[in-house]
Amino acid sequence: MAEQKEHQNGIPRIGFYICHCGSNIASIIDVEDVRKYVATLPGVVVSRDYKYMCSDPGQELIAQDIREHKLERLVVSACSPNLHEETFRNAAAKGGLNSFYFQMVNIREHASWVHEDKAAATRKAKDLARAAVYRVRFHQALEKRKVPVDPNVLVVGGGIAGIHAALTLANAGKKVTLVEREATIGGHMALFDKTFPTMDCAACILTPKMSAVKSHPNITLWTYSEVEKVEGYVGNYKVSVKRKPRYVNEDLCVGCMACIDACVFKEPKFPDKFNQGLGKRKPVYIDFPQATPKVVLIDPATCIQMKTGKCKKSCADACDRKAFDFNQQPELKEIQVGTIVLATGFKTYDAKRDALYGYGRYPGVFTALEIERLVNASGPTLGDVVLRDGRHPKAVGIIHCVGSRDEKTNKWCSRVCCMYSLKLAHLIKEHSGAEVYNFYIDMRTPGKGYEEFYDKLLAEGVHFIRGRVAEVTDWAMTPEEQGKLVLRVEDTLAGFVRRIPVDMVVLATGMEAQADAGEVRHKFNIGCGSEGFFQERHPKLAPVNTFTDGIFIAGACQGPRDIPDTVAQAGAAAAEALVLIDAGHVELEPNTAHVVEEECCGCKSCVPLCPYSAITLDEAKKKAVINEVLCKGCGTCVAACPSGSIRQNLFEDDEIFSEIEGVLAQ
């Protein structure tokens, strides 16, 4: 359906199109009414509605009209410009019209989806369409700016996500710098014994990838390093990385570990962070035998030489390669990259926050990560499942959803805990023969082979009690409970309160955003959701993109997820980076600001406003000058210019004033 009429003097010929979006828009907004109304507005020579404007025929309709009706401006009322602005700009170009002679009206996300009153929503759609019709008259022909994309990539975080992304990019021939905060790459996955549901050994599948990172000619691996500062924009980022001192020269150390044997501390004495504090380490240490790079480091807080300068330094003497350097200083490196993949991972919930579960008060209470280390053959007990006092547990209770699905702490489901609890139940039973009880709210096992794994555990004789545990207590009500930890729980299937005495309690702690996620996202200028995880550009259609072009996210930094999903996402993030790199350049919105020289009075009000230092004063002419390459198009200087001599493409004063007039005209 269409309304068509002849050219009107003085006003560009405008084509208006309104989309039904199936019934998404048309069920609330009377599109025909809007179409008829807009046809009466000055300048509008074509007004049409169509089922799906974004479809090929929809776009073709626009292109054809532009040619046939000599359209000079285009307005499309449909969904959010964040979704389809580019689509319709292309449609305009197809018809031979400059893409920027186009204005989009959002009547789906901003109207039909959020309003129930049809008449009011239709009124709103008319107002918004009128505003766009008024505005589009003032549009200018513009061209996108092309900037080259530096082919080098930065990957931040050396867990399985970062490792996979780095290897994918490196295998595609791109130079990658992988920055990891800890002394070794591997992340959380390196702590695990087995992986669900296949029960393949985590180290067996992870360590080959870790070595591949180390030996890959295209990867520069900087562990024990942190990103300090990020400047620039898509395709052209300048990144400063701080390399923390290990007090051991990384290029010389071959990881023979003779120094560790030679340390003046004959026995390991200090809590071993890698083993969740369950084991001990010396001041000179390596996290685990397959640490990558295989380079020792010194903990300055416990090393006698570092603390007092008065050690006989037997470690250094034991080193053939003379790799020790007690005066090593932090080093600041600067690199240029075009794209960045953030894979900074997660932290586990602090189990102490649930006081009723007694973590930190009762030695028999463990976190799941601690158990991962206990069941691990290379862990502190070489795979022996023992309590802190050395006893072997006869009964073990695993409490699900600690720090997940809880109004008081974290509302979200951490997605991995049901499955890893099943895995740990299996391993504990296998290693110790103990009776194992799982206390769950709902069993969540969506994934290939996951439900089957649950079935297998049921058959193995692991007990499942449906109920959120109220309390872990050492208060014995009966002689059998003496010396035990008692889990008090409402068994919601049996319909009564039970007390289950066990020797060991495992808290299936959930996943949270890294403690410094807020700081990191500021550094990279990306967003976070209210729960602290990095915000993707679109939850479904752009899950690894961020609102900052050229910066991608992968893995649990975006939200709780398991290893298969993390790896898939890391691959996707790498692919997104490759898209930019292989295109060789990116097109930037031409929404930069410029100074109209004859109107500028050289007052310098604008100069300090620009966060990118894009504005300078031409001292000879006493006029402000904006460097278009540095300008990012926020428009803050435009709003501040007292003489109105700064203009912003796409957001000209004329355009905005006419839009204001348009939404309010009646």
Interaction site with other proteins (CB under 8 A): 80-82, 106, 108-111, 113-117, 119-121, 123-124, 127-128, 131, 355-356, 361, 473-475, 522, 525, 527-530, 535, 539, 547-548, 591, 609, 611-612, 632-636, 638-640, 648, 651, 653, 656-657, 659-661, 663-666
Among the listed residues 475, 508, 308, the one whose alpha carbon sits nearest the alpha carbon of residue 403: 508
Contacts of 330 (CB under 8 A, 6+ apart): 242, 243, 244, 245
Smaller CB separation from other proteins, 152 or 558: 558
Say if CB 187 and CB 142 are below 8 A apart. no
3-state secondary structure of 157: coil
Smaller CB separation from other proteins, 220 or 591: 591
Shortest spacing between CB 62 and other proteins, in angstroms: 21
Smaller CB separation from other proteins, 319 or 557: 557
Smaller CB separation from other proteins, 579 or 660: 660
Shortest spacing between CB 360 and other proteins, in angstroms: 10
> Which ranges constitute the DSSP H helices of 319-386?
368-374
Q: Which residues pair with 465 in a beta bridge?
A: 439
Among the listed residues 558, 555, 565, the one whose alpha carbon sits nearest the alpha carbon of residue 517: 558
If residue 498 lies in a helix (H) or strand (E), which one and from where to where? strand 496-502
Query: C-alpha angle with apex 151: 149 to 157, nearest 5 degrees?
Result: 110
Q: Quick one: 581 exposed, middle or buried, by C-beta within 10 A (0-12, 13-18, 19+)? A: buried
Strands 504-509 vs 365-367: parallel, antiparallel or unpaired:
parallel
Shortest spacing between CB 560 and other proteins, in angstroms: 16
Smaller CB separation from other proteins, 466 or 632: 632
Written as six digits, the tokens of 551 are 């910066």
Shortest spacing between CB 531 and other proteins, in angstroms: 9
Written as six digits, the tokens of 258 are 């003779």
Measured distance CA(435)–CA(397) in Å, rounded? 8
Smaller CB separation from other proteins, 148 or 539: 539
Q: Quick one: 461 exposed, middle or buried, by C-beta within 10 A (0-12, 13-18, 19+)? A: exposed
Smaller CB separation from other proteins, 571 or 633: 633
Shortest spacing between CB 392 and other proteins, in angstroms: 24
> Which ranges constitute the DSSP H helices of 69-173?
81-94, 118-136, 160-171
Shortest spacing between CB 111 and other proteins, in angstroms: 7
Shortest spacing between CB 474 and other proteins, in angstroms: 6
Smaller CB separation from other proteins, 1 or 356: 356
Shortest spacing between CB 106 and other proteins, in angstroms: 8
Sign of CA dihedral 409, 413, 416, 418: positive
Smaller CB separation from other proteins, 126 or 188: 126
Smaller CB separation from other proteins, 433 or 539: 539
Written as six digits, the tokens of 236 are 């052209």
Total residue length of the chain: 666
Give the CA-trace dihedral at 495, 497, 499, 500, to 10 degrees: 30
Please report how many Cα atoms fall inside a 13 Å half-sphere around the Cα of residue 657, on the Cβ side: 5
Shortest spacing between CB 356 and other proteins, in angstroms: 5
Shortest spacing between CB 301 and other proteins, in angstroms: 26
Say if CB 52 and CB 19 are below 8 A apart. yes
Shortest spacing between CB 2 and other proteins, in angstroms: 26
Smaller CB separation from other proteins, 81 or 467: 81
The DSSP secondary-structure symbol of 108 reads I
Say if CB 259 and CB 252 are below 8 A apart. no
